Structure 1
C-alpha cells in the first residue's frame, strides 16, 4: 500500500471517529473531508506520468498532513465516554486546545497539497495537449468539474471575497526560489494574511455557514457586514486584476512557441495556480521567471499596500477589546516570523512592517505600547547580532566591544560568591560585575576554538547585551568584554538604582527557611524569568544554564528584596541557536546543577554528550525554576529520595501530589504552565519549526503567565 493510500485510509478512520455528533469533534470534519478529497485527486494525478522532481515535491506535502492527522487521532482517542467530569474538564483545557490547533494545522497542510496538485494537474494537461488535444480537452472538462466541487464549500464562507483573498495570499506564500526583493514582499504578505485571518476569525466571517456558532465570536450588526464587504470586495477585484495580467508560463524547451491552450478557457480557470506555478522552479522550469518577479514588483507592492489599509479599516470596525485580541494574535505571528528571520534585510523589513502596524493602530481605538515596542526592540537586537556576525572582521566594531584588561579590577567582595562571577570596578568606578567564560587551548581536538568562541559567542553576546534592551528583557546591560588568564570576562553594569547594592542570587533566597515572599512577589518573579527566556529564544539564543544561582536579585527601597526586578545572568555556556557547531560541554561540574538539566543531558549519564542542546532543554530548566518558586524551596529538597534523573517523573506523577501542591499554591493555570515546560508536546519538540516553537511557547507559557495576577 502506498503512502497516499495509507494516509487516505487513516483519514477515513479519523473521520469516522470524529463523526460522533459531538461539537468538539465535528469541527474536524470539514478538514478531514478536504484531505480525503485531495488524496483522491492525488491518486488520480499519480496515474499519469510524473517526473521524479514533481514526485518528491508532492510527497513532501504528504508528510505534514500525516503528522497532523496522527496527532489529531491521538488527541481524539484520549477522550473516552467513561471519563469522569473532572477528566473531561481537564481534557478540554489541555487536549481540547491541542485538538483545535491540530485541525488548523491539518487544514493548512491540505491547502498546500491542494495547490501543488492543481499545478501538477495543469502541467500534465499542457503536455497532453501537445500530443492528444482531444483527450486534453476532456481531461480539462473533468478537472474543471473537480475544481468547482472542491471550491464549493469555501464559497459558502460568510465573506467569500475575504476567503478568496486569503487563498490567493497562500499561493504566493508557498512560492520559492524567488529574488530577495520578493522575499521582503512575501514577509509583508504573510503579516497581512495573519492580520486578515485574525480579524476574520474574531468576527466569525471566515467560518462556513453550516458551522455552529462559537460563543467566543462576536455577533456583527448587518450594517457592519455591509461596510466590511465594501472594503473586501474592491480588494478582491484588485487581486483579480493583478492576476489577470500575469503572463502564462512556458516550459524551457518550448520558449519559441506558445501553444494555444495557454490562452484558452483552461488558462483563465487556473489563473491563480499559474501565478503560483510561475513563481517557483520546483516542478517545471519557467521562462523569464526572475524577470516576471521584477516586472510585477510595483503592482504587487501597490496590492500589498492596499491590503494593509483594508486590514486597518476592517479591524477598526471592531470594539477595543476585540482589537486587542487581534493584536495579541498578530503579535504571536510576528514573534514567530522574527524567530525565522536570519538575514539583516529580512529583519529590516520586519521592523518596517511593525512600524506600519503602529500607524494602523493610531487610526483605530487600539492602544499602542508594550507589544509593538517589544517586537521592535527584539527585532533590533537580533538585527544587531546578525550584523556583528556578518562584520566579524570589522576592527572598529571589535574595538568598541573589547576592553583593555587593565581597566577592569575584580574585587572579591561578593557576599554570596560564585566561581563564575565577581564584583568589579571599571576605570575605578564601582557598580559592575564580571562573568567569566573559560576557553581551552587552541590545540584541542573537539569543540570550538578560542577564536570561534570570541567571534561567534562572546562578541555577539556582548553586542546583543550592550544594546538598549526592552524593559521586560531582564538581563543586565553588558559594557564589553576582555581577555585574561584563559578566559573571557563579560563586564555587566548594575542598574543605577542598585549600583551600591549586593547581588543576591535566587539560590540563596530559596535556601532560607523564613521570609517566604508574598504570592504577588513570586508571581512577578516567575513572570520576569519566563518573559526573558522567551525573548532570548526569539532573538536566537540558548542560555544553557538556567538555575537559581543565575537569577540575580537586589534590595528594594525598604531593605527587602525586589523580586519584580530580577535579572538572568550566567551566560558562560550560552550560544546562538544557529551555531550548533559551537556546542560545548557544560562548564559547571557541580552535581547539583544536574537537577536543572533535562534528563537527556545530565552529566551523570554517559550518553549525555550524544544530545545536541536545543530550546526544549532551556524550557525544561525553566519548568524546574517555576516549581521552586511555587514551593519556595530548592528542587533537591522537594523529595529526599528522588534524584535528578527522576525529578521530572516525580513532579508530573499524580501519585506524588507535587502538581496538586503547586496548583494549591498558585492555581491550575500555573500548574499547567509547569507541565508544558517539563513535558512539552510534539508541537515544541526537536523537529518543530522555529516559528511554531515560538508560537506555542508564547501561547502555552508566556501568555497564561502574563495573565496571572493577585486580586
Structure 2
C-alpha cells in the first residue's frame, strides 16, 4: 500500500474513534441536561457528571481531543473503540426503558414548564460545571458535526419515568466501562490521570456545600470496579464532608440542632467506665475499661463559660469519628464522650485485630527507644505517607485537627504479628482530636493548654492568648514538625535543644523562645539541607513548604489551593521508592 493511502486510512480510523467518542459525550449531555429529574436531581446528575468527566479526561490523556484526534500508539485502539461503542450504547436514550426501566421523551411544548422553572429540583446546580463546561461539550459535538455550533447543545428532553436505584444501575455500568478504558493506559499515564481527576474532585468536595451533590460524588466513588491509588482516601473524605455538612455549628438555630437525628453514637454511662487509679490531673490520654472492654480515653479540660458551645462541637466530633472507617483513614472509632465537671472524656475502640492486652505505643515512644533498631528510609517514608494521607482526608472533609504531634500518633500490636517486625510502623493511627473543629469562620477557637513540650509543635501564631484563629496552615506546620522528627528519628524537644530547652519543667520558657523554634529549624535544618540529605528532595521540599511562615498570610478563598498543594506532595511522596 502506498504511503498516501495508508495515511488516509489512519486519518479515517482516527476520525471514526473521535465520532464514537463524541457520540458518548452527546449521550452524557442528553441525559444530564434532561428536565424533571425529581427530588434526587443533584445526586443523580452529579453521579452522571463524574463519569462524564472521567471519560473526557481519559480522552484528553490518550490524545482523542488533540487537533489530529489520533490516539496514542500505545493504546489498543480496537479495544478502545469497542468499549466506547458499548458506552455510547448504554447512553442511548432509546434503549434506557428496556434496560433500566427509565425513560426519556421529547418535551410536550404545551405542558413543559419554562427552562427557568425549577421542577422537583431538576435545575439543581452542577458542582462539576467547571470541570466539564458547556463550552467544552459544544466544541466536541460541533467538531464531530453532531450539532451546529451556533445552535448549541442538543435540545433538552424530559424524564417521564426515572427511579433512583435504576439510574444508579446505569451509572454503575458506565463506571465499569470507563474503568476499563482507564486500564488501557500505561501505568505512568494512568497514575497521572488518577491524580488529575482526584485533584479536581478534591477541589469540588472542598468548595461544595450541596449535600445531595456530595452524596452523588460519594456514590460514584463507591461504584469503582478497580482500586485506583488515592480514591479510597477521597471516598473517606467525601463521607466525612457529607456528615460534617449536616452537623450543626456554633451559629446554628437551636431548633435545627434538635431536629437533626444522628445515631452514630450511643449515650455512654459513667458508671461503666473504670479509670486507672494512677491517673494524674485532667487532660491527656489514658487506657481504661468501658463495659468490660479496653478503650483509649482522651480527656479535654473545659472552661465553664464555653461548656455549652463545646458540648455541641464534641458531639459533632464524636459523630464524625464514629463513622465506618476506610482502611486508609487511620483514626480510631469513637464510642462517644462522657461529660464531667471540668472535662469531656472521649472514648475510642481499639482497631480491629489489635491485641488489647498490650498498650499502644506512640511515635514519640518509638523515637525515644534506643534499644530498637532505627527504621530504614523506606520505612520512614512509608510512615510519613500514611500520616499525611490521614491528615489530607481530615482537611478535605473541612475539619481541622489542632493537635498534631508525635505523641498523638499511636501504633497498636496486631494479635497475629510481632510488634517489632517490619510491619510495626505501617499502621500509624492519628489521635488527639479533642480540640479538633470544623474549618469554619463561625466556629469558636478554644485554646489548648499551655505547655512548652506541646507548644513546640504549634505555629507561632497559635501560641499564647489571644492567638490568631486556627487555620489549616497551622495544622500543616505541626505536621512539618512531626515529619522533621521522622527524618531525624529523634523527638523534637531534643532536636531544638540548642535553641531552647523545654525538657526541664522547673525552667519557665518565654513565648518568644517558642515562637523562635520556626526560624531556628529553617536556618539549621532546612536551609542547610539536612532534611533533604536524610530523606530526599521531595520530602525536604515538603517540610520546607509545610513550616513556611508566609503561608499564614493566605486568604480564606485560597485555602483550596493550599489543600491541593498538600495533596500534590502526598502524591509525590507516594511515588518515592528507596
Same fold (TM over 0.5): yes
Matches within 5 A, 1:50-449: 159=18, 162=21, 181-209=40-68, 219-220=74-75, 223=78, 269-272=149-152, 311-312=178-179, 314-315=181-182, 317-318=184-185, 323=190, 326-356=193-223, 358=224, 361=225, 367-368=226-227, 373-386=232-245, 389=248, 392-393=257-258, 400-413=265-278, 419-427=283-291, 429=292, 431-442=294-305, 449=306
- How many Å separate the matches in 2 of 1:564 and 1:481? 28
- How many Å separate the matches in 2 of 1:232 and 1:558? 49
Matched, 1:645 2:515: yes
Give 1 or 2 for the bigger CA radius of gyration. Answer: 1
Counterpart of 2:427?
Answer: 565
313 and 513 in structure 1: CA distance in 2 versus 1, 3 angstrom threshold: closer
1:594 to 420, 442, 455: 455
- How many Å separate the matches in 2 of 1:659 and 1:191? 45
| Greater shift in the superposed pair: 403-412 or 292-301 | 292-301
Is the Cα–Cα contact under 8 Å of residues 596 and 621 in structure 1 kept in the other structure? yes
Q: How many equivalent pairs are there?
A: 494
- How many Å separate the matches in 2 of 1:689 and 1:298? 40
Counterpart of 1:494?
Answer: 350
Deviations 1:156-175 (A, max 9, x none): 99947757987998999999
- How many Å separate the matches in 2 of 1:270 and 1:168? 20
Is the Cα–Cα contact under 8 Å of residues 337 and 691 in structure 1 kept in the other structure? no
1:548 to 400, 406, 410: 406
Is the Cα–Cα contact under 8 Å of residues 17 and 81 in structure 2 kept in the other structure? no
Q: Write 1 or 2 for the structure with the bigger share of helix.
A: 1
Is the Cα–Cα contact under 8 Å of residues 406 and 482 in structure 2 kept in the other structure? yes
1:667 to 533, 536, 540: 536
Report the Cα offset of residue 307 of structure 1.
6.6
Counterpart of 1:88?
Answer: none
- How many Å separate the matches in 1 of 2:419 and 2:148? 75
Deviations 1:74-93 (A, max 9, x none): xxxxxxxxxxxxxxxxxxxx
TM score, norm. by length of structure 2 = 0.69
Unaligned runs of 5+ in 2: 1-13, 95-103, 117-146, 250-255, 501-512
- How many Å separate the matches in 2 of 1:171 and 1:187? 14
- How many Å separate the matches in 1 of 2:525 and 2:44? 53
499 and 510 in structure 1: CA distance in 2 versus 1, 3 angstrom threshold: same
Matches within 5 A, 1:618-633: 618-633=475-490
Q: Secondary structure at the match of 1:565?
A: coil
- How many Å separate the matches in 1 of 2:220 and 2:40? 15
Report the Cα offset of residue 492 of structure 1.
1.7
Is the Cα–Cα contact under 8 Å of residues 438 and 487 in structure 1 kept in the other structure? yes
Deviations 1:354-390 (A, max 9, x none): 233x2xx3xxxxx448755555444444444555549
Is the Cα–Cα contact under 8 Å of residues 542 and 574 in structure 1 kept in the other structure? yes
2:438 to 576, 580, 585: 576
Q: Secondary structure at the match of 1:582?
A: coil
CA RMSD of aligned residues (A): 4.9
Is the Cα–Cα contact under 8 Å of residues 273 and 290 in structure 2 kept in the other structure? yes
Deviations 1:644-691 (A, max 9, x none): 4344444445x8565622222222222133234234998994434666
- How many Å separate the matches in 2 of 1:566 and 1:418? 25
TM score, norm. by length of structure 1 = 0.57
- How many Å separate the matches in 2 of 1:179 and 1:396? 24
Unaligned runs of 5+ in 1: 1-154, 253-266, 276-291, 362-366, 443-448
Report the Cα offset of residue 237 of structure 1.
9.8
Report the Cα offset of residue 637 of structure 1.
3.4
Is the Cα–Cα contact under 8 Å of residues 187 and 350 in structure 1 kept in the other structure? yes
- How many Å separate the matches in 2 of 1:657 and 1:387? 42
652 and 171 in structure 1: CA distance in 2 versus 1, 3 angstrom threshold: farther
Counterpart of 1:708?
Answer: 576
Is the Cα–Cα contact under 8 Å of residues 297 and 345 in structure 2 kept in the other structure? yes
Report the Cα offset of residue 488 of structure 1.
1.3
464 and 227 in structure 1: CA distance in 2 versus 1, 3 angstrom threshold: same
Counterpart of 1:698?
Answer: 567
506 and 299 in structure 1: CA distance in 2 versus 1, 3 angstrom threshold: closer
Report the Cα offset of residue 333 of structure 1.
3.8
Report the Cα offset of residue 436 of structure 1.
1.6
Is the Cα–Cα contact under 8 Å of residues 552 and 569 in structure 1 kept in the other structure? yes
491 and 666 in structure 1: CA distance in 2 versus 1, 3 angstrom threshold: same
585 and 517 in structure 1: CA distance in 2 versus 1, 3 angstrom threshold: same
- How many Å separate the matches in 2 of 1:243 and 1:399? 42
Counterpart of 1:107?
Answer: none
Q: Secondary structure at the match of 2:298?
A: strand
229 and 503 in structure 1: CA distance in 2 versus 1, 3 angstrom threshold: closer
250 and 528 in structure 1: CA distance in 2 versus 1, 3 angstrom threshold: closer
- How many Å separate the matches in 2 of 1:592 and 1:661? 23
